[in-house]
A and B are shown apart, each in its own frame.
Chain A
Amino acid sequence: MFISGIGIVFTRGRGVDSFEKALKEGWREPSWTGLIPAYRVSQETLTDASLTKKIRRADKFTRMALFSAFDAYVNSGIITENNERLGIILSTAFGPHSTTFSFIDDMLDYGYANASPTKFSNSVHNAAASYVSSVLGSRGPTVTLAQFSFPFQNALALADIWLNEGRCEHVLCGCVDELNAVMEYACKMKLKTAGDGKIRPFIFSSSPLSVPGEGGAFFMLSKEKCENNYGEVTGISFSGKTNGKPDITVIDSDGMTGDETLYRETADSTVAGYSPLFGSMLIGSAFNFAAASLMLKNQVAYNCPVPDNPSGIKVCGSDFSAGINKINCVRICRSEKTAVIKIIK
């Protein structure tokens, strides 16, 4: 399965170029406007009349999904008139919960019989994927998944299967999650927040610190190698086995899934982690996967934005001079299960 296009919406803007720019520029402080420091996506980033004229009622979650999916589609250069065999897989941890709460506001404020039907329809988890399908005119299978463990890895595995089965020629596959006041409150109460706003992926702590984020990251995935190619996914393993040493291992440690000590065991090659650029998210793997894809395509080992490294592992940076041919992306959930995505040039 080949990576033909990337679309990103995150705290520093929209598009793969914005993401690459962030990888080059390094860490920036999160915003401090809410209960906790967080990497929020601005309203300005989510304004695009050419895309939203068809979906004026779409909420923030849908806009992040649509913009990142649409950009991945355009970035691939695979624009066909007939999208019957374009599949869509959207995975999320929490879904469009701001709209759910807005619907509950209606129930509480106006009575159970007087809530807004528009809000209700937009609160359904698969509304965002439906909007993507409508805007792109894609008529292939369209699925939304909701996971706390491995949301991106399961979506990617399904995309790979659909392509191998011949069910689709291309699959737009990605993840979206949003922040709001309720989620920030839950994060504040249930997670340890980094007071200085810095996620430190290489501390490997049993009680790591987080800085929540939000955004969307989508990938156009193709059975055949396309003109625009970021790399090839050669395996997605849920057993934790890596089968061979990669040039670089990108890890998802970001303070969101508890004990991170096991990540230390993955550090037998050069290690990278880019969560300090986009924030702690259960869907953070999708953003690290985007970073890995760009590393393969551009043959650049981007400096890790927060390289604090007390255990002396080899952290990815400008001193990495070898060719980048093979990257493993590793996620460990609750110190129990490990998933590895293997990508090659």
Chain B
Amino acid sequence: MKIVISGIGAVSAAGINLAENLDSLKNGKRNAGPVSIFSSGLSYPVFEVKSLPEKWKNAGMRTLSLALAAVEEALNDAGLQTLLSGFKAGVYLGTTVASQLNDIEFYDSFRKSGSADLKPVDRYLKGNLAEAVSHLVKASGPAVTVVNACSSGTDAVGIAVSFLKSGICDIAIAGGADELNRVPFCGFGSLGILSNSLCAPFDRNRTGLNLGEGAGILVLEREDFYIGRGKKPLLYLSGYGSAADAYHLTAPRPDGKGLESAVRSALSDSGISPEDVCFINAHGTGTIDNDKAEGSVLYRVFGENIRFFSTKGYTGHTLGAAGGIEAAYTAAALKEGWIPASAGFACKDDEIPISPVTENTDVKGSFALSTSLAFGGNNSAIVIERA
């Protein structure tokens, strides 16, 4: 059973819909700046969504707002209504922030006085990402929120594919969403991996990552169901692989064996070989360790001529949304036949055997790969196929 990608939606600092995002990628726009949605006293640049449509602004539930904007776009793109009550539909979404009760004012009040206004708790309880989206689109199937840190979005897409293939659902809303939030902003700052300048994935002089926010959503359907709707498939989500490093809480395994295993598993799941892949949308955060491990693995598996890039230079690292946004970009790039320049890359790193593309490049081929590496040593990859 093949799984069709029938709809795509994306929201990030690069744009409030997929077309705007692709335009930013095509024209090298990097909409970063100081954070404006909260105060922190920290000056690291971020990629913030500046123009979220009013209709999606849910006070105190920014991650859900971002997700809903992308869900609506993806459902429209799939030719579906925004209510799925008549279908066997499931919702599979990755996030980090929306899974945590981390309202600072609430907690500060509690620790000072032993009591606090419970509105943040109510928002938290109503804001479980997959459950909230499922409730709003009236999906009758499973609602699964994946919290695998930075690979959450990719894992959510892969899990959705598995549930679709099992027959539990015919349609799935899959991807990820995350907002900029003070707690991870300070957390990543404390880890010393935020860059004071714009990130430069795979570059010799890279100094760390920039945080971002957004949502990337795919509508996935079982092929028989999609064809039954009178549609002709253009893209498939054809493979998913995931593997653990079993190594360290925050650092990737230096030899990249976990990532390699995830990539090979995704290729195997698709029934293809490395030479069938025409490009890779890499995780490429701009940290020293990630890019070194990832670059080495891509070289080892795909060889020196593989074309790859990172889009973190356009969106920042959107954490739980990253896998969803990058799946959306990968699908769109494969469909349109071009890949963007890897923003921020200028100088080859001698410790990374291959370099990303430095200008927009036409691509021909049927398969593309998107990778994610995460805190905790999670590694995931998906393969997208052009029909």
Complex: chain A residue closest to B186, CB-CB: A112
The one of B102, B145, B244 in contact with A130, judged by C-beta atoms closer than 8 angstroms, is B244
Pick from B116, B155, B162, B188: contact of A161, CB under 8 Å: B162
A190 to B2, CA, bound (A): 45
Which B residues touch A149, using CB under 8 A?
128, 131, 143
Q: By the criterion CB–CB under 8 Å, are B118 and A126 in contact?
A: no
Name, among A97, A101, A144, the residue most crowded by chain B CB atoms within 10 Å (CB to CB): A144
A323 CB-CB contact with B under 8 Å: no
- What total count of A-B pairs have CB within 8 Å? 193
Q: Is B142 in contact with chain A by the CB < 8 A criterion?
A: yes
Contact of A142 with B244 at beta-carbon distance under 8 Å, contacts A95-B100, A108-B104, A126-B376 already known? yes
Closest Cβ of chain B to A235, distance in Å, is 11
Contact A121 B101 (CB under 8 A): no
Chain B, Cβ-Cβ closest to A148? B128
* A115 and B186 form a contact (CB under 8 A): yes
Taken together as a complex, chains A and B put the C-alpha atoms of A300 and B114 apart, in Å, by 45
Contact A84 B261 (CB under 8 A): yes
**A47 vs B143: C-alpha distance when bound (angstroms):** 35
CB–CB A124/B375 < 8 A:
yes
Q: Is B163 in the interface zone, CB < 8 Å from A? A: yes
* Cβ-defined contact, A104 with B104, below 8 A: yes
In the complex, A267 has a CB within 8 A of chain B:
no
Asked if B40 is at the interface of the complex by the 8 Å CB criterion, the answer is yes
For the complex, what is the distance from the CA of A8 to the CA of B301, rounded to whole Å?
41
Q: Is the CB of B99 within 8 A of A125?
A: yes
- B144 at interface, CB cutoff 8 A: yes
What bracket does the count of chain A residues touching chain B fall in? 35 or more
One of B99, B102, B116, B186 near A146 (C-beta < 8 A): B99
Check A145/B258 contact, CB under 8 A, given A121-B249, A161-B163. no
Task: State whether B96 touches A125 (Cβ < 8 A).
Answer: yes
Query: Does A250 sit within 8 A of B, measured CB to CB?
Result: no
- From 162 to 187 in chain B, residues with beta carbon under 8 angstroms from any chain A beta carbon are 162-163, 165-166, 168, 182-184, 186-187
Q: Which of A125, A182, A186 contacts B100 (CB 8 A)?
A: A125
Q: Which of B22-30, B146-154, B343-351 has 4 or more CB atoms under 8 Å from chain A?
A: B146-154
Q: Does B332 have its Cβ within 8 Å of any Cβ on chain A?
A: no
Q: Of A130, A140, A147, A181, which one neighbours B144 at CB under 8 angstroms?
A: A147
- How far apart are A152's CB and chain B's nearest CB, in angstroms? 12
Asked if B148 contacts A140 (CB within 8 A), the reply is no
Chain B residues near A108: list those with CB within 8 A: 104, 108, 111
Query: Quick check: A122 and B249 within 8 Å, CB to CB?
Result: yes
- Find out whether the CB atom of A141 lies under 8 angstroms from the CB atom of B118: no
6 contacts between A and B (CB under 8 A): A124-B96, A126-B376, A127-B376, A139-B246, A141-B244, A150-B142
List of 7 A-B pairs having minimum Cβ-Cβ separation, nearest first: A130-B376, A120-B187, A141-B242, A125-B147, A146-B99, A142-B244, A117-B190
Q: A115-B187, A126-B378, A127-B375 are in contact. List 11 more A-B contacts (CB 8 A).
A: A95-B99, A95-B100, A95-B147, A100-B100, A100-B102, A112-B42, A121-B249, A134-B247, A138-B246, A142-B376, A147-B128
